[in-house]
Amino acid sequence: MKELTEVLKDWEAVIGLEVHAELTTLKTKMFCSCPIEFGADPNTHTCPVCLGMPGALPVPNKAAIESIVLAGLATNCDIEKHTMFYRKGYFYPDMAKNFQTTQGPLAFCMRGHLDLELSAKGAAERVDIPKNEGGSYTTRIGITRIHMEEDAGKMTHLGGSEGRIDGAERSLVDYNRAGTPLIELVTEPDLRTPEEARAFMQKLRQIYLTLGISDCSMEEGSLRADGNVSLRRRGSTELGTKTELKNINSFKNLHDGLAYEICRQAEVLESGGVIRQETRHWEPGAKRTIVMRVKETADDYRMFPDPDLAPFDLSDEFIENVRAKLPELPDAKKQRFMESYGLPAYDAGELAGDVEVAEFFEEAAHDEDAAVAKKIANLIINDVSAWTNENATTISKSGIAPAALAKLARLLADDTISSKQGKEVLAALIGEGSDPEEYVKSHGMEQTTDTSAIEQMVEELMTANPDKVEAYRGGKTGLQGFFMGQVMKQLGGQGNPKVISAIVTEKLEG
């Protein structure tokens, strides 16, 4: 198969996402008062409503409707005041009612959009549009709707291979998840590259986390996506036949699955074949997609308005009360970090994308000038993040106090210590919660920026190497590195490169 960027020169990829998010932060299910809890003993959180007993009556969860309205407002959707729930025919043991309660043609949230900013790295796949100065670009992705539905229970198949139903001897069902409120966001087919799909999903996750409506755990399946993709010749405006990748559970799988599917479709089309409309499954291990089912006709779910649930008539007051609860969203926060702390766009975006990290940054940086704020940002984005990722923890659980990180940033900003020494101080901060200033003193790090000591070293080196000094002054300026290296060696690698470099240059220039 051809490489993705090669394929994208001739073909335009058209991608639309369907993103499901379980509203895991709610206390109770969508239509009953059973608790929502991941990992509880099977079938301990059930009642006549979520078990689909005859005669049981559903009552909508107001907090869930507030959550979906929040999601809609945060993604620039119109909020539809008059909507209702439908029954979608669905016979499978994981849904005891034999229908799923979901929304019809009109959902609570309609016609929204998100703007994406693709960094230079992510922009490489987009071959057809001009890029900004730094190689980035922005693009607007339409959101068709966000509708509310309920999740099904969870099946476990025993005795077959890899938990699949084929060949299984027995199947178990756990209804704890049945009736968990789910919101499904459907995009317009506006995405053009796997990187855009990944960026959309990442941005949406940041927004939902900021709103606090879902834990968005992709491993546990509370956030998952279906990726729809088709190809058309560059210049054509007609839509090609799409395939759909189901239940993608990581950003990498979303990107890689779509990239594979684009290359596969191109190969089929270029060899004169046709794309069948089918649902496919991405296998990350084997790095390929396989057919799950072929769609020959439109599904007929026999949808009809649920007679047990009255249509909604959301009041302006209800919507405005929800709007008043909107927190500062990642884009606005990024803008504010650039303006109030003088951070570059990249740093501001990285920090603003995570509620906890953003809070930590502000606590550390609120009294500092731009130079120190930039050092704090560097420490968080590069060093602390690497450590929290490695240890599967978060910044607030790292044991680092924001004030201590600010102290360390100040020592870096005024060149008391080098960035290499900074890493050592940070390690001590994380491990022992030590005070950066005391650590620097007790480990003699200040001496290595003691300019008079370094000046003396340089002078001695120049006396010992008169030929090199002469050669430098005769134009071989590369010899600056020799003197720097010697000083650094004498300091056991602990010197501050910036300080040493400045002194060496000054002395050599005479």
Q: Which residues bind ligand ADP (CB under 6 A)?
A: 14-18, 186-189, 228-230, 239-240, 242
Determine contact, residues 73/323, Cβ cutoff 8 Å.
yes
User: Among residues 58 and 240, whose Cβ is nearest to ligand ADP?
Assistant: 240
Nearest distance in Å: CB 74, ligand ADP? 19
The one of ligand ADP, Zn ion, none whose footprint includes residue 34, by CB under 5 to 8 A per kind, is Zn ion
How close are the terminal C-alpha atoms of the chain, in Å? 62
* Residue of closest CB approach to ligand ADP: 16
The verdict on 34 binding Zn ion (CB under 5 A) reads yes
User: Among residues 266 and 395, whose Cβ is nearest to ligand ADP?
Assistant: 266
Determine contact, residues 499/454, Cβ cutoff 8 Å.
yes
User: Among residues 80 and 190, whose Cβ is nearest to ligand ADP?
Assistant: 190
Give the angle 360-366-371 at the CA atoms, nearest 5°.
Answer: 100
Give the span between the Cα atoms of 407 and 425, in whole angstroms: 11
Q: How many residues does the chain have?
A: 510
Neighbours of 385 (CB within 10 A): 15
Nearest distance in Å: CB 94, Zn ion? 15
The one of Zn ion, ligand ADP, none whose footprint includes residue 239, by CB under 5 to 8 A per kind, is ligand ADP
The one of ligand ADP, Zn ion, none whose footprint includes residue 16, by CB under 5 to 8 A per kind, is ligand ADP
Strands 137-150 and 78-79: unpaired
The verdict on 266 binding Zn ion (CB under 5 A) reads no
Residues facing 283 on adjacent strands = 288
The one of ligand ADP, Zn ion, none whose footprint includes residue 402, by CB under 5 to 8 A per kind, is none
Strands 278-283 and 243-248: parallel
Q: Can you tell me whether residue 284 is helix, strand or coil?
A: coil
The verdict on 32 binding Zn ion (CB under 5 A) reads yes
Segment 41 to 100, residues that bind Zn ion, using CB under 5 A: 47, 49-50
Give the span between the Cα atoms of 80 and 87, in whole angstroms: 19
The one of ligand ADP, Zn ion, none whose footprint includes residue 186, by CB under 5 to 8 A per kind, is ligand ADP
Give the span between the Cα atoms of 337 and 344, in whole angstroms: 9
Neighbours of 379 (CB within 10 A): 25
Nearest distance in Å: CB 220, ligand ADP? 24
User: Among residues 309 and 314, whose Cβ is nearest to Zn ion?
Assistant: 309
Nearest distance in Å: CB 308, ligand ADP? 26
Determine contact, residues 141/200, Cβ cutoff 8 Å.
yes
User: Among residues 61 and 187, whose Cβ is nearest to ligand ADP?
Assistant: 187
Give the span between the Cα atoms of 116 and 17, in whole angstroms: 14
User: Among residues 90 and 301, whose Cβ is nearest to Zn ion?
Assistant: 90
User: Among residues 240 and 353, whose Cβ is nearest to ligand ADP?
Assistant: 240
Nearest distance in Å: CB 84, ligand ADP? 19
Task: Give Cα separations from 7 to 63, 195, 282 (angstroms).
Answer: 46, 15, 19
User: Among residues 35 and 105, whose Cβ is nearest to Zn ion?
Assistant: 35
The structure tokens 């189901």 sit at 246
The one of ligand ADP, Zn ion, none whose footprint includes residue 422, by CB under 5 to 8 A per kind, is none
Binding site for Zn ion (CB under 5 A): 32, 34, 47, 49-50
